[in-house]
């Protein structure tokens, strides 16, 4: 349940967060420490507050109580551009306006690095070129976003967030609506960003196997609380999954990778 601080540096820390949109809190007094330089998956059933937590972590939702610390500083005290240089957010289901080219979209990721009237600089272009290269979109940079396939389009949004050059990436269900191949592409890219780029990736995921296969660390939520948290092998257990999802799941070991694999067996009585 607890996280060993000697294992890695703390990146984002939520302190007694109470979150909600009206009087009724969705997340109640939640505290969690998300380690730096890891791929962290936030898991939980629909309505458990995981997307709400991600909004608060990315400064898109002001907490009713509590605060989020980034490297020891409250993110609420950061300017909006300053926060965006530290935290990149991939929002869910965004639709680009018709006729916008891939590169024009990716260039928007440079917004927090530019003054209101400062010209486009070489370092901005370098960041855009690198983001396009990392997402394999260099050849497609002049295409309008709406003619791309679903997977390419998702990669274009990711490229925009990468151009933002933030050390922490927050992703809200980055693989939903994608077919198997594109899911693997996106998750593989996240894995490389963590392993090779030293980024911290925090993603809300729906698929247990995706989390088991690609993430280092999981946070499991139910009804606005954290039920389990820690390294994948420690946190993803049969009992926890039964508690969180109400499903009897066998956790097996993938013979090829040695990582856990989740096989749902039956729905447990309420």
Partner 1 sequence: MTGAVLCALLLLAMLLALAAGDQPVSPVDVLRALAGVEVSQVSETIVMTLRLPRVALAAAVGAALAVAGTATQAVLRNPLAEPGLLGINAGAALAAMIVIVEVASLPESLLPAVSFAGALITALAIQMFAWRAGTSSLRLILVGVGVGALAGAGASFIAAFGPAAEVQRAITWSAGSLQDARWVKLEWLVLWGLPGALALWLAARELDLIALGDRVAGGVGQRVQLVRGLVIVAVALLAGAAVAASGPIAFVGLAAPHVARALTGRNHARLIPVAAVCGAILLVVADLAARRLLAPVQVPVGLATALIGAPFFGYLLWSRRNEL
* Contact residues: partner 1, CB under 8 A: 21, 58, 60, 79-85, 88-91, 94-100, 104-105, 108-109, 111-112, 114, 116-117, 157, 160-161, 164
What the block records as the tokens of 46 is: 């629909």
Nearer to partner 1, 49 or 88 (CB): 88
CB 104 to partner 1: min, Å: 7
SS3 11: strand
In angstroms, the CA 3 to CA 136 distance is 35
CB 224 to partner 1: min, Å: 20
Q: How far is CA 200 from the centre of its chain?
A: 9
CB 32 to partner 1: min, Å: 21
Answer positive or negative: Cα dihedral of 144, 150, 156, 160.
Answer: positive
Nearer to partner 1, 3 or 111 (CB): 111
CB 59 to partner 1: min, Å: 8
β 260-267/247-253 pair status? antiparallel
What Rg value do the Cα atoms of the chain yield, rounded? 19
Nearer to partner 1, 37 or 144 (CB): 144
What residues contact 266, with CB distance under 8 A and at least 6 apart?
247, 248
CB 91 to partner 1: min, Å: 4
Nearer to partner 1, 80 or 266 (CB): 80
Nearer to partner 1, 97 or 246 (CB): 97
Q: Which residues pair with 228 in a beta bridge?
A: 220
CB 126 to partner 1: min, Å: 18
Nearer to partner 1, 58 or 228 (CB): 58
In angstroms, the CA 231 to CA 212 distance is 10
């Amino acid at each position: 349940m607890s996280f060993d601080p000697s294992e890695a540096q703390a990146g984002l820390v939520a302190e007694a967060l109470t979150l909600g949109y009206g009087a009724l809190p969705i997340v109640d007094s939640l505290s969690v420490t998300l380690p730096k330089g890891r791929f962290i998956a936030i898991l939980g059933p629909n309505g458990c507050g995981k997307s709400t937590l991600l909004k608060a972590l990315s400064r898109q939702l002001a907490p009713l109580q509590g605060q989020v610390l980034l490297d020891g500083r409250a993110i609420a005290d950061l300017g909006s551009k300053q926060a965006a240089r530290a935290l990149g957010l991939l929002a869910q289901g965004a639709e680009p306006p018709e006729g916008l080219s891939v590169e024009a979209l990716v260039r928007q990721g440079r917004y927090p690095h530019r003054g209101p009237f400062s010209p486009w600089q070489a370092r901005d272009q370098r960041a855009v070129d690198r983001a396009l290269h990392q997402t394999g979109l260099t050849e497609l940079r002049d295409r309008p976003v709406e003619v791309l396939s679903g997977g390419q389009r998702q990669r274009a949004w990711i490229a925009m967030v990468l151009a933002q050059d933030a050390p922490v990436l927050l992703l809200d269900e980055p693989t939903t609506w994608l077919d198997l191949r594109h899911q693997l592409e996106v998750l593989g890219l996240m894995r490389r960003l963590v392993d090779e780029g030293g980024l911290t990736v925090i993603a809300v995921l729906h698929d247990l196997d995706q989390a088991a296969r690609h993430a280092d660390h999981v946070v499991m939520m139910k009804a606005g609380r954290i039920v389990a948290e820690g390294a994948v092998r420690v946190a993803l257990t049969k009992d926890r999954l039964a508690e969180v999802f109400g499903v009897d799941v066998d956790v097996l070991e993938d013979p090829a990778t040695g990582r856990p694999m989740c096989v749902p067996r039956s729905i447990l009585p309420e």
